[in-house]
Chain A
Amino acid sequence: MATKTIIRKRDINLNGNGTHKDAPEKRLEVLKTYKIYIGGQFPRTESGRYYVASNNRNEKLANVCLCSRKDFRDAMVSARGAFGGWSARAAFNRGQILYRIAEMLEGRKAQFIEELVKQDSTRAQAEAEVNLAIDRLIYYSGWCDKYQQVFSSVNPVASSHFNFSSPEPTGVVAAVAPQCDSLIGLVSVIAPVIAGGNTCVVLASSTKPLCAVTFAEVLNSSDVPGGVVNILTGKVSELISYFADHMDVNATVYCESDSSVQAMLKEKGAANVKRIVLYDKVKWKSEDAQSPYFIYDLQEIKTTWHPIENIGGAKAGY
């Protein structure tokens, strides 16, 4: 029987200079590429540009995609494509999916905490922020099949009609996430949008973009259909005007207090009568930053006149 020679890694002299081979190996770390999220996929920006995200200690955190208007256009196409299916889902099912996002976020808590710490949070702050984000998703998950009942009404009319009003999703929402938070702001903006049956294109915080990309991975593994949430990274100043004038955007959400930008949004948004929703006074870590009215802000009220039989001269009961 032939003898078999087993070659172990430590037997090989890698540097070839006769030095001892038992020196501890240094592992080459695999760094994450922070890409954007469009239509359920993780492409790089079509522009090929990037910027360097760094923290207060001037440490380089990552090269992040610097999205262009074409990325926004592509994201809009997939958001529009996903709208029909998402808005037609049973409200209860949307609630299940939001709950699933929270579950997935819980499972990857440690990663988010690490990223928040890298982006200048203390460990305690980071942990509190991630917990709050998870709880907020659960909160909106519960509202998915209830806000319709709260905001609907049966209206008294003088004819023999059953007249009722109920909210319907406005369509595709283009949102600029709060710039000061990495995770909680993003989650607080996205959750009420999709809970209400809308789809969205969200521009993440440009100074703290890490959690946004990781959150996209959470969305991707939690039954959210591709295109329902699209996340871009880049400069607000470069992209904001397209959020305002794209004719296929039904509502624009803006969370900063720059009054000239607010005025520009209102002016350009008038071309197709967009809803311009300004959340410049919301403290995203407070209790006030969650309520069914955030869902209501992105709903259209549809009123239906349903003819009813007027039997024997009796008045309608409504």
Chain B
Amino acid sequence: MASTISMPDFSLSPHVDQVGIEERASRVTKRSIKNETKINGLKLALNMIDLTTLEGKDTDGKVKQLCYKAQHLHDQYPGLPTVAAVCVYPSMVKTAKTALGDSGIKVAAVATAFPSGQAPRDVKIRDTKFAVDQGADEIDMVISRGKFHQGEYNFVFDEIAAVKEACGDARLKVILETGELVTYDKVRRASDIAMYAGADFIKTSTGKISPAATLPVTLVMLEAIRDFYYKTGKKIAMKPAGGISKAKLALHYLVLLNEVLGEEWMNNEWFRFGASSLANDILMQLMKQKTGVYQSADYFSID
């Protein structure tokens, strides 16, 4: 099947109309959403979260606590979904895997010298293989932004393909780090490269660089996914990450997703939020809807 996909010239990726994209993205923030839809949207968003901890100071204890939280978001609210996955460094995969047991929550690991990606290819491959061997279900890799800026698209392409091969059965998320790509044209081009090279997900950011995910950048990537789907019939998933910490913003992303890719993508197989504090804000909004009373962070678990 893959052999029937003809490789385009990435330097000919479509150009993006910056003003148009930003205008369109800003329009989804002005929708009125009725209560029932809002509650469904919030629960769906909760179910799409990759609960993330990616810090140098992460300990086994912190990861176990996060995994507990992933399974017990807010026990006072019966019938809540769990998050989609827990996202950690490769050295924490085993801890997370054990802590999550048979809950069905996936373990995602960032690999390939995250977040800078400045390491030789064999190191990146070993990093990936280590994470997969430890039991990671998903691998979040970073692209070599320096090489991309130098125009060495083949290098970037080959690297993604090599990591994809190292992933085996694990799904591969390719982080473009859009904050370092700067222009929408480059985001579009990097998205095309990643998808043709075998990415299962394209992901905006590491969360270590500002700006991280924004609505316009996500729109550019969603359109790239749509065009790729029309051309090849292959569905690619999307993961905006970083800076999404409010429930309202999460709903805006869902509106955007629904309008660009439609209902087929509206589940956690095809869309994820990379976030750490978003879950609590969504829980607070859900409890507000349930009790009619504005909530306080004091009554929710610490992230």
Contacts and interface: CB of A to CB of B under 8 A. Distances in A.
Chains A and B belong together in one complex:
yes
Interface stretch (A38-46, A95-103, A245-253, A286-294): A245-253
A76 B294 CA distance: 10
A246 B299 CA distance: 12
Contacts of A248: 294-298
A271 B295 CA distance: 11
Nearest to B299: A247
Interface of A: 73, 76, 80, 242, 245-248, 271-272
Contacts of A242: 294
B12 interface: no
A242 B293 CA distance: 8
Contacts of B296: 246-248, 272
9 contacts: A73-B294, A80-B297, A245-B294, A246-B294, A247-B295, A247-B296, A247-B299, A248-B294, A248-B295
B297 A246 contact: no
Contacts of A245: 293-294
A271 B299 CA distance: 12
Interface string B114-138: 0000000000000000000000000
A82 to B, nearest CB: 15
Contacts of A80: 297
A272 B294 CA distance: 11
A272 B287 CA distance: 14
Nearest to B297: A248
A256 to B, nearest CB: 23
Contacts of A247: 293-296, 298-299
Interface string B265-303: 000000000000000000000000000011111110000
A144 to B, nearest CB: 26
Contacts of B293: 245-247, 271
Interface in B226-258: none
Given A80-B297, A245-B294, A247-B293, 4 more contacts: A73-B294, A245-B293, A247-B296, A247-B298
Contacts of A246: 293-294, 296
A245 B298 CA distance: 15
Interface string B218-230: 0000000000000
Contacts of B297: 80, 248
A119 to B, nearest CB: 32
Contacts of B298: 247-248, 272
Contacts of A76: 294
A272 B299 CA distance: 9
A272 to B, nearest CB: 7
B16 to A, nearest CB: 33
The 4 closest A-B CB pairs, nearest first, are A248-B296, A247-B296, A246-B294, A245-B293
B257 to A, nearest CB: 26
Nearest to A247: B296
A181 to B, nearest CB: 29
A242 B299 CA distance: 18
A246 B297 CA distance: 12
A238 B294 CA distance: 16
Contacts of B295: 247-248
Contacts of B299: 247, 272
A165 B167 CA distance: 59
A70 to B, nearest CB: 10
A242 B297 CA distance: 17
A115 to B, nearest CB: 33
A246 B293 CA distance: 6
A248 B295 CA distance: 6
Nearest to A72: B294
Interface in B164-191: none
A300 B29 CA distance: 41
Nearest to B293: A245
- Most interface-central of B294, B297, B299 (chain A CB within 10 A): B294
